[in-house]
Amino acid sequence: MTSTDPVPLPDYAGEAPGHGVERVDVVVVGAGLAGLTAARALTARGLAVVVAEASDRVGGRTKAREVEGSLVDLGGTFVGPTQDRIIALADELGLDRFATFDAGSNVISWRGAIKHYRGTIPPIGPIGLADIGRIQFEIDRLGRGIDTAHPERSPHAAKWDSHSLTSWLRSIHALPSSHTLMSIVSGTTWGCEPGEISFLQVLRYIAMAGGISRMLDTAGGAQEEHFRQGSWQVSARMAAELGDRVRLATPVTAVDWTDDGAVVTAGPARFRAARVVLAVPPALRARIAFSPALPTPYSALTQRWPQGILSKAYAVYEQPFWRDAGLSGQALADTGPVTITFDASPHDGSRGILLGFIGGDHARHWDALPPAERRIQALSSFAEVFGEKALTPLGFTDQLWAAEAWTGGGPTAAPAVGTVVSTAPYLREPVGPLHWAGTETAEAWTGFMDGAVRSGERAAREILRALRPFAEVAP
């Protein structure tokens, strides 16, 4: 077979004839960053691709909304150094980046007092600082020993998987202040409490991001820049290129597969394909009726990588008034519901926009409130650190990722204690014609937009190697 031969399609026995089954080479399930990246790469190599998206929009965990004339990123927002794949892709698609506003003092609401500080080290007292310093050192040190692509193969994998972040912090006698700070990190990074996530996943995730500083920092870190046109445009522009290959409001309900191919059922539509890319979060794989059923470890995996719970609140003001007070717009709070705040104003400073993260237990409670009450609580959080002006924005919006039916939570999965070693080997290992994508399957920057793009590229490479064995496939 040469690269110009048509891909042989499976002669699928289970299919009733004459029911308008559409033949393609590859069905991609999910039009998020991962799925669209895979579809784009496969289409570029001449394969016939359909992207079946359950919801009525593309973008997955990126989403845009206009508030008082300003665009806000309701999901994935920031990019930073070494996130090379999302940056290359966005460059290629003509998007512009600009630096996250980072001048001035940060604010922390801590143990009932408000303090201003410069840089990344919050003023929580010398003992508290020494303790969080040694914890950061230790997590980074342990992380360097982790096989991030195959965490189950790491030294002491079972031991770290038997700990949650909380139980590990207890085991090293962390101070209460460090428990609080790590709880804020956990809530916004994984959308869960520190007791809900396997410490093996914590180590792996942070190691993939290049350490705690790079993961949490603005300048030089994962929050360094954002897109002028909004991150959702990455997906929107890929979808525009793909045209009618992208089918919205087409939830895949069943995948009947053999070693040779699959028939994908999405409502009344059916597609016959040689390969399928499942570019949805691991938990959402469970939405699909596979026939035959997925092998035991794969089926177990779909039930053991729950999505975190993360919500975002955006308030739009006439001006970024905090800048006048010498503040960066960045804040930490041990109160909540908002525990971390960023300045997400437009690049020209034409408006002032505060972005607040509400994660884990805070989100469990806050999500259940009526919209007006959610707004009051979020604005109160902003006012706590930036003053009363924050209470009267021009506009306000929020996004509850756990209420997003076809996402199931955010920002990423938070596998619990004792579940990573037994499930991680199956995250991206293909099953017959089924390939897996999505940021949870990434070998670098898992949980970030960059990981999503990488996973889509990897899934496309797997398929090209299988269907175009004599063609050159980019590594």
Q: Cα-flanking dihedrals φ and ψ of residue 413, to 5°?
A: -80, 150
Q: How far is the CB of 475 from a copy of itself (least distance, A)?
A: 30
Which among 248, 338, 305, 264 has a CA at the least distance from the CA of 419?
Answer: 305
Cα distance between residue 342 and residue 353, in whole Å: 8
Q: Quick one: 49 or 338, whose CB is closer to a copy of itself?
A: 338
Applying CB under 8 A, the residues found at the interface with a copy of itself are 54, 158, 161-162, 164, 166-167, 193, 195-197, 251, 253, 283-284, 286-287, 289-293, 295-297, 299-300, 303-307, 309, 361, 363-364, 367-368, 400, 402-406, 408-409, 416-419, 422
Q: Quick one: 122 or 191, whose CB is closer to a copy of itself?
A: 191
Please tell me whether residue 412 adopts helix, strand or coil conformation.
coil
Q: Quick one: 130 or 405, whose CB is closer to a copy of itself?
A: 405
Contact 291, 255 (CB under 8 A): yes
Q: Quick one: 366 or 448, whose CB is closer to a copy of itself?
A: 366
Strand 21-23 and strand 254-258: the pairing is unpaired
Contact 452, 37 (CB under 8 A): yes
Q: Quick one: 102 or 361, whose CB is closer to a copy of itself?
A: 361
Q: Quick one: 164 or 218, whose CB is closer to a copy of itself?
A: 164
> How far, in whole angstroms, is CA 56 from its chain's centroid?
19
Q: How far is the CB of 330 from a copy of itself (least distance, A)?
A: 26
* DSSP-assigned states of every residue in 76-133: --EE-TT-HHHHHHHHHTT--EEEPP--SEEEEEETTEEEEESTT---S-HHHHHHHH
Which helix (H) or strand (E) segment holds residue 315: the answer is strand 310-317
Q: How far is the CB of 472 from a copy of itself (least distance, A)?
A: 34
Q: How far is the CB of 389 from a copy of itself (least distance, A)?
A: 30
Q: Quick one: 271 or 386, whose CB is closer to a copy of itself?
A: 271
Q: Quick one: 317 or 401, whose CB is closer to a copy of itself?
A: 401
Q: How far is the CB of 103 from a copy of itself (least distance, A)?
A: 36
Structure token digits, residue 104: 């001035």
Q: How far is the CB of 53 from a copy of itself (least distance, A)?
A: 13
Q: Quick one: 124 or 400, whose CB is closer to a copy of itself?
A: 400
How far from 342 is each of 96, 208, 314, 327, 434, CA to CA, in Å?
19, 23, 10, 11, 39
Q: How far is the CB of 426 from a copy of itself (least distance, A)?
A: 10
Q: How far is the CB of 164 from a copy of itself (least distance, A)?
A: 6
Cα distance between residue 49 and residue 30, in whole Å: 12
Cα distance between residue 158 and residue 231, in whole Å: 37
Q: How far is the CB of 266 from a copy of itself (least distance, A)?
A: 11
Amino acid at 258: T
User: Is the bond preceding 292 in cis, omega lying within 30 degrees of 0?
Assistant: yes
Q: How far is the CB of 69 from a copy of itself (least distance, A)?
A: 29
Q: Quick one: 361 or 443, whose CB is closer to a copy of itself?
A: 361
- Evaluated on CA atoms 295, 299, 301, 302, the torsion sign reads positive
Structure token digits, residue 202: 């914590």
Contact 79, 218 (CB under 8 A): no
